[in-house]
Amino acid sequence: MGEKIHIKNSPSNNGKKILIVESPTKSRKISSILGKDYRVLATFGHIRDLPQKHMGFSLKDVISGELKINWEIMKWKVVNLLKKEAKNSSEIIIATDPDREGEAIAWHVASILGIKDAKRAVFHEITKKAVLSALNSPRKIDMNLVSAQITRRLIDRIVGYTLSPVFFSIRKNSSAGRVQSAALHLISKRWKEVKDFVRRPYFIVFADFGKVNALLYENYEDNGINKSRVKHFHSEQEAKEICERVNELIISSFRRGKEAKYPLPPYITSSLLQDSKNILGFSSDFTMRLAQELFERGLITYHRTDSVSLSEEGEKIAKEFLSRYFQDVENAGRKWKTKVANAQEAHEAIRPTEEGIKVFEKLFYNIKSPKAIRQSNLSPYDKLLMLISFRFLASQSKNAVFDTVEVTFKSPQLPDKFFFKVKAKKLKEEGFLKIWNNEMKDEKEDEYEGEDAFSFLLSFELQNKILVSPHRNYPKISYRKEFTNPPPLYTEASLIKELERLGIGRPSTYSTIIKTLKSRGYIFEENGKLIPTEDGLFQDETLEKYFPMICSPEFTAKMEEELDTISRGEKFWRQSLAEMAKKYLEEFEKFKEKVKEHFQSLKQIELKKEEVTGRSVENTNSITNQNKQNRKSKTNQKFMIQEKRRKAYKQKIKIKKI
């Protein structure tokens, strides 16, 4: 269960100040900064939590608002050490992580040690400047954040302890939860959409000029707004007739201009997890473990954040580096606006610290772009640090600028709503692309990039009319057959992006959601795609039919919003918890009765099969037939192989140093 606790016997602190943090790695780093004046101790994560074997509170008390929670100490060795050291200390400061979980840990520590008006230090990077600044200006524990964390913990316990046993009765290793079930529903729903999708043909007409193609568009009206789109013909004959009809093109517009391409903002948790998967191939869980280590070693800022803001210190680091290597594109001080709802702007984006940029600078001599990171021989830690640093530096650079030319053509032989269009652009100023050149080209079908296409379109500037003839090579009017495509299956990266868009979960939970679904056997990953197992589909279908509220993204997102209002002090947590719990429990009672009948009917079907086949179906831990069992067995084998590989890889990187 988490990190093993090794506590060294050490002499009494003799009146020293005590600083309490979460991680032993973090404590060692901070000790090297503070020296002998402080004794830095680690809690090894949560030291007190809800009991492991029972609810820990009464549901009646939750509804009435007279809640009494039976907290249970999880790490007595740590608690005894903290109490011993606290007796002789001159001052105690609690500096757990700067988020809700960290605030709750600080409150539990203060409660156990009996500290009134506990001093709380908060820093978003482990550097000498940040640590000393935080120690010189401690604050009180933010009880709004603590209340939000406790509310989340209790509502998740209520959902988990009532809902999971329902499924555990028919399948071991089952679980269901407020966020987990919503995420599983997204994956299952997308899988069904893809599986049931019927590809249908359509035809696109275009003017072929040899070097470029101009697609046929149509103007249309949508709620009183004039719009245009590429014309899709569902009949090949209709597309063919259009091609045969056109014998003349008239240039209706010729426009030259400039187009700016903006860099992406520095990383927040969700965007880091997405790029780490897409660019480096790292899972979300693995990425978070690497980022935690980088943070604790003082190489990056805090990695659980939804803010794209940068501190003055961050802007200074970017300016100094860019002035040395990319002076012509430096734009330090560039501000970014956070788009995530309820983002905590007091936090900072993920970026390298002063020490981290020094490590990056050494590696930068051999690796000049994000493209080169994945195939390098760097350790996973260094790869992630480089990715974070490249994105951070690009965010503080100038826009890339393109020269553009766009030409539209009309044909007298076609209705006025139809027109052909083509566009080309040529890079004029590299800007941030000198640093961040990993992005896929975002060209549309009728947009080209490069000198050849750009120069070719310039040649139309002095032309007016172009004849189209079957006896000439170009231009010619042609059509091609295309097929509609289903939405793509979710990857870890795209699922995290969707969870963020829908407001499901928070930076600290994205990787845990996916990890839990995999470990429970509800999903597996194949060629980077997340696919539901038979058991995952069964649970989702059961919940969708009999308890749609719990797998609804809207329900989960609304709860997240409620927690955010508590963290801002806008609502009393006991009242919010009572309202959420009452609504959930009312729906759960209805679900329990309905699903009980459903499961009984399934068991009757299994018993009838036993009578027919003469084979026992007891203890199969499944509600499906033998073919499904075979598929499930293969899936479980995949899980076991993947887990062995993961553990071997984890052991391998454990001995590597940054």
Q: Same domain, yes or no, for 183 and 296?
A: no
Domain boundary among 483, 510, 536: 483
Q: Same domain, yes or no, for 56 and 137?
A: yes
Nearest by Cα to 536 from 551, 517, 511, 553: 517
Q: Same domain, yes or no, for 556 and 589?
A: yes
Average pLDDT, the chain: 87
Whether residue 582 has pLDDT greater than 70: yes
Give residue-wise pLDDT tens across range 192-202: 999 999 999 99
Give residue-wise pLDDT tens across range 82-100: 999 999 899 999 999 999 9
pLDDT band at 471 (very low <50, low <70, confident <90, very high): confident
* Active-site residue flag, 490: no
Nearest by Cα to 354 from 383, 320, 380, 328: 320
> Could you tell me which residues are beta bridge partners of residue 523?
532
Query: Considering Cα of 203, then 204, then 207, then 208, what sign does the dihedral take?
Result: negative
Whether residue 652 has pLDDT greater than 50: no
Per 3-state DSSP, what percentage of the chain is helix, strand, and coil (rounded to 5)?
45, 15, 35
CA 252 to the chain's CA centroid: 45
> Is 4 domain-assigned?
no
* pLDDT over 90 percentage in the chain: 71
Cα distances (Å, whole numbers) of residue 109 to 14, 48, 99, 150, 574: 21, 8, 15, 15, 22
Query: What's the CA gap between 624 and 535, in Å, rounded?
Result: 9
Which segment of 163-167, 549-553, 579-583, 604-608 scores lowest on mean pLDDT? 604-608
DSSP 378: -
CB 124 within 8 A of CB 301: yes
pLDDT for position 244: 93
Give residue-wise pLDDT tens across range 420-431: 999 999 999 999
Catalytic residue among 38, 217, 267, 302: 302
> Is 274 domain-assigned?
yes
Q: Same domain, yes or no, for 295 and 383?
A: yes
Which segment of 277-291, 514-528, 570-584, 592-606 scores lowest on mean pLDDT? 592-606
CATH number at residue 85: 3.40.50.140
Whether residue 604 has pLDDT greater than 70: no
Q: Same domain, yes or no, for 208 and 331?
A: no
Whether residue 234 has pLDDT greater than 50: yes
Q: What residue type is assigned to position 538 of the chain?
A: F
Structure tokens that stand for 513 in this block: 């959601």
CB 167 within 8 A of CB 174: yes
Q: Which domain holds residue 305?
A: 269-395
Domain boundary among 451, 483, 515: 483
Whether residue 615 has pLDDT greater than 90: no
Q: Same domain, yes or no, for 189 and 206?
A: no
pLDDT for position 238: 96
Whether residue 206 has pLDDT greater than 50: yes
Give residue-wise pLDDT tens across range 348-381: 999 999 999 999 999 999 998 898 998 899 999 9
CA 81 to the chain's CA centroid: 37
> Is 11 domain-assigned?
no
DSSP 327: G
> Could you tell me which residues are beta bridge partners of residue 91?
17
State how many domains the chain has: 4
Structure tokens that stand for 265 in this block: 């903002």
CB 658 within 8 A of CB 359: yes
CB 130 within 8 A of CB 108: no
Q: What residue type is assigned to position 238 of the chain?
A: E
* pLDDT over 70 percentage in the chain: 87
Average pLDDT (324-332) is: 91
Structure tokens that stand for 43 in this block: 């809690």
> Is 5 domain-assigned?
no
CATH number at residue 404: 2.70.20.10
> Is 59 domain-assigned?
yes
Contacts of 221 (CB under 8 A, 6+ apart): 227
105 burial via Cβ count (<10 Å: 0-12, 13-18, 19+): buried
pLDDT band at 441 (very low <50, low <70, confident <90, very high): low
Structure tokens that stand for 314 in this block: 């961050």
CATH number at residue 606: 1.10.460.10
Q: CA triplet 162, 164, 168: central angle to 5 degrees? A: 125
Domain boundary among 343, 375, 395: 395
Whether residue 3 has pLDDT greater than 80: no
Q: Same domain, yes or no, for 137 and 67?
A: yes
Average pLDDT (151-177) is: 90
Q: Same domain, yes or no, for 504 and 463?
A: no
> Is 295 domain-assigned?
yes
Average pLDDT (385-392) is: 97
Strands 38-42 and 17-21, sheet pairing: parallel
> Is 657 domain-assigned?
no
